[in-house]
Amino acid sequence: MPPCWTSRVLLPAASLLQLVDVRQVCCEFLQAQLHPTNCLGIRAFADLHTCTQLLSQAHAFAEQHFTEVVQGEEFLGLTLQQVCSLISSDKLTVSTEEKVFEAMVAWIKHDKPTRLEHMPRLMEHVRLPLLSRDYLVQIVEEEALIKNNNTCKDFLIEALKYHLLPADQRHLIKTDRTRPRTPISIPKVMVVVGGQAPKAIRSVECYDFQEDRWYQVADLPSRRCRAGVVSVAGRVYAVGGFNSSLRERTVDVYDGGRDQWSSVASMQERRSTLGAAVLAELLYAVGGFNGSIGLSTVEVYNYKTNEWLYVASMNTRRSSVGVGVVEGKLYAVGGYDGASRQCLSSVEVYDPAANQWCYVADMSTRRSGAGVGVLGGQLYAAGGHDGPLVRKSVEVYEAQTNTWRLVCDMNMCRRNAGVCAINGLLYVIGGDDGSCNLSSVEFYNPAADKWSLIPTNMSNGRSYAGVAVIDKPL
C-alpha cells in the first residue's frame, strides 16, 4: 500500500482512538505529499476528518498551484461549491484571468448536461474585466456557453464597458470582478541543470534565494549540456543538448514536488546550443547545432498535446543563440553563423501572429554564447564572445525605440552562462571565462546599474548549464 494511502487509513483510526500523536504525524506526512495532482483530494480528506491545519494547507497549496491543479482529474470532479470556493479566492495565483475562465469552461463541459445550469453562478467569480479586450471579443464572446446564457452575456457586457472607460476612470466600477487578485507570493528556487564540467554532467542543483544556499536535487536521466532549459506550468524542461558524444533530440522534464525527471516527446531535429523560451505557454526551440551545421529552424512544443511542430525559420543560422520574450514576441540574439564562420551582432524577432521573423537593430558588438534574459520588459545580452575574446560587457534592448544601450559591465568575463530574472534582478550563472568554468553567480540591479556576486558559489564550476526558476517545493 502506498505511504500516502497508509496515512489515509491510519488517520481515521487514530482519530477514532484519540491517538493525537499518530494523527499529527499522519497530517504532517500528508502535508509533505501535497502535489498539484493530489492536493484537492487531500483537502477533501482533511475536511472529512476535521484536520483543520491540513485543510488550510491543502487549500492554500491548491490556490498557489491553480494553473497546474486545474489540469488534473481531481479538479473536474469537484462540486459546484468547491469550484466556487477556489475561483472566488483573492489568493489565487494565476498569470492571467484567462486561466480561471478556461478552467470554469472545462469544468462545465466535463458534465455539460448536469452542470450547464451552474454557468451564471461560476461566471460571477471570473474577473472578466481583468482580461484583455482582444481575449474578451475573440474567445469569451465566441464561447457557445456564453452566447446561450443571458446572465453570462451581462457579465461580458460589464467587462467590455469597463474597457471602454478611460484608464483613470475604471476604478469607479467597483465589483468583485474588477478587483485584481492578490496572491501570496511563493518562495522561488533557481534550478541549474547539467552543463559542462569539463564534460557533460548529470548534476542538477538548486539555489534557495531566501536561505542563500545551494543543494543537489535529482540528477538528469543522462548527461546533458548545451541544452535549452525553461520552466513551463511549474515544471523544468531540458531540451536537446549534447551528451559528450551526440547532439540530442530528447526532452526531459523535472517535477520539483516529486524531485524526479521523466521524458516527453522528442524534437524533430537534434539541437545543441539552442535558444529556448516560453511564449503563450508554448515552448520554443530556436536554432542550435545538429552536429554538422548551424540551424535556422524553429520548433514549438505544446505540453498539453505533447507535440512538436515547426514554425517559420529564422533568416540566419544561429547556434549558441540567446532568446527572450518581450511584449508577446520572441527575440533571437547573436550566436554563431556556421556558414560565414563568424559570431553575430544581428538580432531578429518572431511575431507568432504573422509566423514571421524580421531583423531589428544590431547589438553594439558581436556576441556568441551571450547570456540573454528579460527584466522589466527589456532584453539583456550579457557577456558572450567574439572569437577568442570573452566579454564582460552587457547591453539592453528597448523594443519601443529599437535601440541597444550599454549598461554596467559584469564583474567577470562570461560566455555560455545561464540567465534568469526574479524579484527585479537579473542573475547570470556560471559560464566560462575563456580558460576555466565558473562556479560564481552575479546579479544585476537596474535601479543601481550595478552587478554584485551572490555570497555562495555553486558546488562546482559549470558552463553551458540551463537555468529556470520554479516555486520552492514543500
Q: What CATH number does residue 165 fall under?
A: 1.25.40.420
Q: Is residue 13 part of a domain?
A: no
Residue 166: its pLDDT value, please? 86
Angstrom distances, CA of residue 136 to CA of 32, 205, 279, 352: 39, 42, 20, 20
pLDDT band at 95 (very low <50, low <70, confident <90, very high): confident
Greater model confidence, 285 or 280: 285
CA distances to 96, 100, 338 from 76, rounded to whole Å, are 20, 13, 50
Given a cut of 80, is residue 7 above it in pLDDT?
no
pLDDT at 253 over 90: yes
Give the C-alpha separation, 226 to 228, whole Å: 7
Same domain, 264 and 230: yes
Q: Are residues 199 and 164 in the same domain?
A: no
Q: Supply 6's cell numbers.
A: 497508509
* Environment class of 248 (CB within 10 Å of its CB; exposed 0-12, middle 13-18, buried 19+): buried
DSSP state of 46: H
The answer to whether residues 204 and 153 belong to one domain is no
Q: Is 112 exposed, middle or buried (0-12, 13-18, 19+ CB in 10 A)?
A: exposed
pLDDT band with cut points at 50, 70 and 90 for residue 73: very high
pLDDT tens, position by position, 430-440: 999 999 999 99
Contacts of residue 214, Cβ cutoff 8 Å, sequence gap at least 6: 205, 206, 207, 208, 456, 457, 458, 459
Domain assignment of residue 12, yes or no: no
Least confident segment among 165-169, 257-261, 432-436:
165-169
The structure's pTM equals 0.76
Query: 203 near 219, Cβ under 8 Å?
Result: yes
Where among 117, 144, 172 does a domain terminate? Answer: 172
Q: How confident is the model at residue 11 (pLDDT cuts 50, 70, 90)?
A: very low
pLDDT number for residue 13: 43
Residues 158 and 229 in one domain: no
86 pLDDT above the threshold of 90 = yes
The per-residue pLDDT for 108 is 96
In a domain, 355, yes or no: yes
Residues 6+ apart with CB under 8 A from 137: 160
Check residues 96 and 382 and name the one with the higher pLDDT. Answer: 382
End-to-end CA distance of the chain: 23
Distant-in-sequence, close-in-space partners of 418: CB < 8 Å, separation ≥ 6: 192, 195, 229, 371, 428, 429, 430, 431, 465, 466, 467
- pLDDT for the residue 183: 82
- Both 402 and 444 in one domain: the answer is yes
For residue 16, what are the contacts with CB-CB under 8 A and spacing of at least 6?
Answer: none
Q: Given 3-state DSSP classes, what are the helix, strand and coil percentages for the chain, each rounded to the nearest 5?
A: 25, 30, 40
Angle between helices 80-87 and 98-110 (to 10 degrees): 180
pLDDT of residue 31: 86
Boundary (domain end) residue, out of 147, 172, 197: 172
Confidence of residue 17 (pLDDT cuts 50, 70, 90): very low
Q: Is residue 5 part of a domain?
A: no
For the beta carbon of residue 55, count every other beta carbon within 10 angstroms: 19
- In whole angstroms, what is the distance from residue 427 CA to residue 447 CA? 15
Per-residue pLDDT for 385 more than 90?
A: yes
% of the chain exceeding 70 in pLDDT: 95
Query: Do both 164 and 195 map to the same domain?
Result: no
Residues 335, 261 share a domain: yes
Among the candidates 172, 198, 228, a domain finishes at 172
My answer on whether 210 and 115 are in the same domain is: no
**For residues 37-46, average pLDDT:** 91
Q: What is the pLDDT of residue 133?
A: 86
428 & 329 share domain: yes
Q: Which residues span the domain enclosing 219?
A: 189-471
CATH number for position 246: 2.120.10.80
Is the pLDDT assigned to residue 2 strictly greater than 60?
A: no
pLDDT band with cut points at 50, 70 and 90 for residue 16: very low
pLDDT confidence of residue 474 = 66
Q: 71 lies in a domain? A: yes
Report the distance separating Cα 191 and Cα 215, nearest Å. 10
Whether residue 119 is contained in a domain is answered as yes
How many structural domains are present in the chain?
Answer: 2
From 29, 101, 43, 108, select the one nearest 74 (Cα to Cα): 43
pLDDT of residue 444: 97
User: For 104-153, what is each residue's pLDDT tens digit?
Assistant: 999 999 999 999 999 999 999 999 999 988 899 999 999 999 988 999 99
Over range 419-446, report the average pLDDT.
Answer: 96
Predicted confidence band of residue 232 (pLDDT cuts 50, 70, 90): very high
Asked whether residue 441 is domain-assigned, the answer is yes
> Quick one: angle between helices 39-48 and 52-64, nearest 10?
160
Neighbour-count burial for 328-358, b at 16+ CB within 10 Å, e otherwise? ebbbbbbbbbeeeeebbbbbbbbebeeeebe
Query: Looking at residue 21, what is its pLDDT?
Result: 63
Q: What is the largest CA-CA distance in the chain?
A: 78
Residues 365 and 407 in one domain: yes
Instruction: Tell me: do 136 and 198 sit in the same domain.
Output: no
Same domain, 332 and 444: yes
- Residue 20 buriedness (CB in 10 A; 0-12 / 13-18 / 19+): exposed
The CA-CA-CA angle for residues 155, 156, 157, to 5°, reads 90
Q: What number is the average pLDDT over the span 369-396?
A: 97
- Asked, for residue 14, whether it belongs to a domain, the answer is no
Residue 315 burial (CB < 10 Å; 0-12/13-18/19+)? Answer: middle
Q: Residue 276's beta-bridge partner residues?
A: 285
Q: Given this model, what pLDDT does residue 251 score? A: 98
- Mean of per-residue pLDDT scores for the chain: 92
C-alpha cell at 312: 517559420
Least confident of 28-32, 115-119, 308-312: 28-32
The strand pair at 441-445 and 342-343 is best described as: unpaired
Q: Cα-atom radius of gyration of the chain, to the nearest Å?
A: 24
Q: What is the DSSP letter of 473?
A: P
Q: Is the dihedral of CA 193, 197, 203, 206 positive or negative?
A: negative
